[in-house]
Amino acid sequence: VLMDCFAGSPGQFRNFRKDDFEANWIKVAECRFGQVYQVKLKLWREKCALKSFDSLCANNFYRVMDEASNMAKVKFKYIMSIYGLCSEATAVVMEYMSNGSLNNLLASHTLMWPKKFQMIHEASMGMNFLHTMKPPLLHLNLKTSNILLDDHLHVKISDFGLIHWEEGMSKTLFMEHLTARGNISYIPPETFTQCPDPPRTTFDVYSFGIVMWEILTQQKPYAGCSVTTVLLEVAQGKRPCVEMIPEQMPHECDQMIRIMQQCWDQDHGKRPQFSDNLHATDGILCLLYKKDFGSFRLSVKREHVSTQFSGQKSLLHYTVASGDTESVKQVLSLGAEVNC
């Protein structure tokens, strides 16, 4: 049945066979519903990610497949591309993102402010794209582990459109759906009420507010609190602590904080749309780049800077001695400060 479904759509959504991939599958992550592997497609000579759903029952996997075929139609710079599925492995096949998830990066590296702001801006661009589709495509599972990073640490939104509100769905079932992945921090308070309305774009905007806080602080929200505590306190208007944003923030950060607080407003009607935020985040980025990188960019243009990129664990400081343009590009994409 599967093969029939996807036959006749060349170049669109493929059903790969296991032996379309080279034999060595590298496990990247183990998750609740299965595993993520790095695989290499023999045909394209390209690395891909294969996300298996082996703990889902057949019916649920059929649903995932159906959704994945819709997700595959979404093409945008800041959105993860879906190539197809591998029904033999109950898996979805997608673009491989070499730098993993933002969740992991925030825990392992110290990011500089321009890079933080750039990531916020790029993620907003991706979300804005989904929300300006007709009808809007709601993500409903936006979190730092679903924001992935390419070779140059630019972001792409992944795993969108897998969770749906269905007409007549009970509140309990929907909440189970949402919280099954341990995402309580990203769920807006209006969802906790007795008879919640179907989720709207403002659901994702709320989740994005939490993501912004995580990027700005590099901490986990509500660390050490139980699910029930989070649920009760968020319902009463509590949010992650803004004072945890490092004090040495540039003054442009004030505007980011305002946007973040609007995004997680208790009243969903007061939350902005992603399109509203983009003007502000774009403006902030321009300011920061002029301020921090003007002279460096000039140096790159004049090709005076030949650098050797010595990557340390902290993205705060890189030693740039002598080297190649690839390193320079990488340093710029990291938003690192450069002493020539």
Q: Applying CB under 6 A, does 262 fall inside the site for ligand ATP?
A: no
Which residues, 6 or more positions from 322, have their beta carbon under 8 angstroms from its beta carbon? Answer: 306, 307, 308
Q: Applying CB under 6 A, does 109 fall inside the site for ligand ATP?
A: no
- Contact partner at residue 51 from Mg ion, ligand ATP, none, CB < 5 to 8 Å by partner kind: ligand ATP
| Beta-bridge partners for 41 | 21, 46
Q: Applying CB under 6 A, does 139 fall inside the site for ligand ATP?
A: no
Q: Applying CB under 6 A, does 56 fall inside the site for ligand ATP?
A: no
Give the C-alpha separation, 265 to 270, whole Å: 6
Q: How many CA atoms within 13 Å lie on the side-chain side of 306?
A: 2
Q: Applying CB under 6 A, does 81 fall inside the site for ligand ATP?
A: no
CA angle 254, 256, 262 (to 5 degrees): 105
The stretch near ligand ATP (CB under 6 A) out of 10-18, 100-108, 270-278, 332-340 is 100-108
Token representation of residue 125: 């661009």
Q: How far is CA 116 from CA 131, 235, 286, in A?
A: 22, 28, 13
- Contact partner at residue 233 from Mg ion, ligand ATP, none, CB < 5 to 8 Å by partner kind: none
Q: Applying CB under 5 A, does 159 fall inside the site for Mg ion?
A: yes
Beta carbon of residue 178, minimum distance to Mg ion (angstroms, whole number): 14
Q: Applying CB under 6 A, does 175 fall inside the site for ligand ATP?
A: no
Q: Applying CB under 6 A, does 330 fall inside the site for ligand ATP?
A: no
Q: Applying CB under 6 A, does 28 fall inside the site for ligand ATP?
A: yes
Q: How many CA atoms within 13 Å lie on the side-chain side of 239?
A: 23
Token representation of residue 58: 């057949």
Beta strands (DSSP E) in 170-226 are none
Pattern 119-158, Mg ion, x by CB under 5 A: ---------------------------x------------
Token representation of residue 16: 């790969």
- Contact partner at residue 31 from ligand ATP, Mg ion, none, CB < 5 to 8 Å by partner kind: ligand ATP
Q: Applying CB under 6 A, does 106 fall inside the site for ligand ATP?
A: no
Give the C-alpha separation, 119 to 314, whole Å: 17
Alpha helices, H only, 132-268: 171-179, 201-217, 227-235, 253-263
Give the C-alpha separation, 292 to 244, whole Å: 24
Beta carbon of residue 97, minimum distance to ligand ATP (angstroms, whole number): 4
Token representation of residue 121: 């801006």
Q: Applying CB under 6 A, does 187 fall inside the site for ligand ATP?
A: no
Binding site for ligand ATP (CB under 6 A): 28-29, 31, 36, 49, 51, 94-97, 100-101, 103-104, 141, 145-146, 148, 158-159, 181
Residues that bind Mg ion (CB under 5 A): 146, 159
